[in-house]
Chains A and B, each alone.
Chain A
Amino acid sequence: MFAYEFMTNAFAAAGIVAVVSGLVGYFLVMRGQTFAGHALSHIGFAGATGAGLIGLAPLWGLLAFTLAAGIVMGVLSERISNRDVAIGVVLALALGFGLLFLHYYTSFATQATALLFGNVLAVDHTMIATLAMLGVITLAALAAIMRPLIFASLQPELAEAKGVPLRFVSTAFLAIVALAVSACAQIVGVLLVFTLMVGPPAAAQRVTTGLWSGLFVSALLALAEAWLGLTMAFYTDWPVSFCIALLSALAYFATLPARTAHVHAAG
């Protein structure tokens, strides 16, 4: 399997993306903002196809639109960014625009599947380098805001009283999510970002309650799912993203019983 260069490339790219997704996604789940993450990838789709329309690489359009959308969501205050209906309407519109841009550039249609569902087997060295750079920036930014992010996520009123700039932290986090989503979409596509950004962290949080152990398990699980998915795809000829999605779901549902094992306090 590793004799093929496209496979080693795929493993490298998927590895980087999985770790970043697992770590960033951990906070998406903690903050109950998974739908916002989902929305960002769909909005990015319009950017990706729009970029193709004007001759740029889709990744830059994806980055531009997700960053813009993330910052808008953060600045409009947390109330708006958590409002499911408003977000849903906007993401449907974005998908519509994506379709419109595709319509005007029909030779782009083959790339549509790649954008929607990922095309990790076509990754080259330049892409790996880009993903690595994106990954480093994303994780560095996450490390910088991690303390106030956790504080503001768990206790917003107290955090505000202690001097945490709530709106800045929310916006910065959504910008980080935008970067992670853009990277993740290169591997599993915009529609399946949940598989690596929500599945593994949600499973990790069912299995352990500490912060560092949760982050570690989340990243490890995402990595395992990505690499096992690639291996499975290689030997079965099934699409890679399907394999990853399957493993992600299996891992998540396997941890469901872990939750009910908790003893509930009396009174």
Chain B
Amino acid sequence: MSVVTLDHVTLRIGTRKVLADVSFNIEAGEFIGVLGPNGAGKTTLMRAILGLLGPESGSVKVFGLKPHRGNPVIGYLPQLRTVLPDLRVRGRDFIASSLNGERWGLPSVNQHDRGMIEETLDAVGARDLAARPLSDMSGGERQRLLLAQALIGSPKLLLLDEPLISLDARHQEVVIDVVHKVCRERKITVLFSAHELNQLLGTLDRVLYLGSGQAVLGPVDEVVTAPVLSRLYGTDIQVLRTDGHIFVMSRGRDVERTDHLHDHGHGHGHEHGHEHHH
């Protein structure tokens, strides 16, 4: 049984068809790199898998069933959006807030929960983050903390929405390595969305490239080609391969690198109400 199956799915947000008549299967244990320009549908796709957005037509199946909110089998690392000012909550309390956080009543963390938190923090090498306040953590440390949180409860499917944003190259590598190692050990299926392909080249099994309402899933060599990407980007694309790296160019400009810089160049401290739809 495939982990995620899309069958002629159309996903609409407002007046826009983010994905139109898209079909593909993701198999168990695969590490899928989800790529595409802004607005291509990366976040929207994840929201559909999480049960937050129903398809306008077609069907989405997760482990053979219709998606529903709060599915314990899915671990989720949302895209970095607003950060509350002055977040002095300690790492382990931050994670504890998400354990059973959807249930009503007073918060309580029992011994078993505490053990689970320590165990996943260990697994991602973030043991030392448990007692530190979030405001004292770097971007990379915070992502590792969020990753630990996403792994609690032994999910079988992990959705990571642009986990590399605002991380420097070194931290990006650390995050990719940790995800790869843990998910291979625990046989977790991973959807890892990013803007640039090169860092993921050594880790991913297949790439899911989104654009212009379409989605193409397959090995890198089949998907990252000029004809396929030109169709997805809606413009003339050249693909340059050199020294184990791949560059997606349009008119001499690296579309992957510059496209997202333009959109995420707002920096921190900008308004809460800003929605990035992918």
With a cutoff of 8 Å between Cβ atoms, the chain A residues found around residue B85 in the complex are 32
- Within residues 196 to 236 of chain A, which ones have a CB less than 8 A from any CB in chain B? 205, 209-211
Cβ of B273 within 8 Å of any chain A Cβ, yes or no, is: yes
CA distance A147 to B93 in the complex (A): 12
Verify if A1 is at the interface (C-beta below 8 Å from B).
Answer: no
Q: A154-B84, A154-B89, A161-B50 are in contact. Are A147 and B138 (CB under 8 A)?
A: no
A264 to B137, CA, bound (A): 8
Specify which of A79, A147, A153, A158 is in contact with B106 (CB 8 Å cutoff).
Answer: A147
Contacts of A124 in B (CB 8 A): none
Q: A105-113, A138-146, A173-181: which one contacts chain B? A: A138-146
Cα distance A9–B149 in the bound complex, in angstroms? 49
Tell yes or no: B264 within 8 A of A by CB.
Answer: no
- Can you list, as one digit per residue, whether each of B107-137 has a CB less than 8 Å from chain A (1) or not (0)? 1000000000000000000000000110111
Given contacts A146-B107, A147-B107, A161-B50, contact A154 B102 (CB under 8 A): no
Q: With an 8 A cutoff between CB atoms, is A265 at the interface? A: yes
Contact call B100/A147, Cβ cutoff below 8 A: yes
Partner of B102 from the list A82, A162, A209, A263 (CB cut-off 8 Å) is: A162
| B76 adjacent to A155 (CB under 8 Å) | no
Q: Which of A83, A147, A158 interacts with B103 by CB under 8 Å?
A: A147
16 CB contacts below 8 A, A to B, read A31-B84, A147-B100, A147-B105, A152-B101, A154-B97, A154-B98, A155-B78, A158-B149, A161-B69, A161-B70, A162-B70, A164-B102, A210-B90, A262-B133, A265-B132, A267-B138
Across-interface contacts of A5 in B (CB, < 8 A): none
Q: How many A-B residue pairs have CB under 8 A?
A: 103
Taking A148-B101, A209-B88 as contacts, is the C-beta distance between A264 and B136 under 8 angstroms? yes
Q: Which residue of A has the minimal Cβ distance to B161?
A: A157
Interface size on B, residues (CB 8 A): 40
Specify which chain A residues have a CB less than 8 angstroms from the CB of B47 in the assembled complex: 161
CA–CA, A78 and B81, complex, Å: 14
Partner of A158, one of B84, B98, B100, B136: B98
Q: Tell me whether A159 is interfacial, beta carbon within 8 Å.
A: yes
From B81, B89, B133, B138, residue with most partner A Cβ within 10 Å? B89
Main secondary structure of the interface of A (DSSP, over half): helix
Name the distance in Å between A78's Cβ and chain B's nearest Cβ.
7
Let me know if A6 is at the binding interface, CB within 8 A. no
Q: How far is the CB of A173 from chain B (nearest CB, A)?
A: 13
Taking a contact as CB atoms under 8 Å apart, the answer to whether B50 and A151 are in contact is: no
CA distance A117 to B228 in the complex (A): 69
A120: shortest Cβ distance to chain B, in Å? Answer: 30
Chain A's interface size range is 35 or more
Most buried by B among A148, A157, A205, A267: A157
- Cβ contact within 8 Å between B132 and A163: no
Task: Say whether B141 faces chain A, with CB atoms less than 8 Å apart.
Answer: yes
Q: Digitize B45-88: 1 where CB-to-A-CB distance is under 8 Å, 0 elsewhere.
A: 00100101000000000000000011000001011011011111
Q: Which 8 residue pairs across A and B have the least CB separation, nearest first?
A: A151-B101, A163-B70, A157-B78, A79-B273, A163-B69, A163-B102, A162-B102, A147-B107
Q: How far is the CB of B156 from chain A (nearest CB, A)?
A: 16
Q: Does A161 lie within 8 Å of B133, measured CB to CB?
A: no
B70 touches A158 (CB 8 A): no
Known: A32-B85, A161-B52. A151 touches B102 (CB 8 A): yes
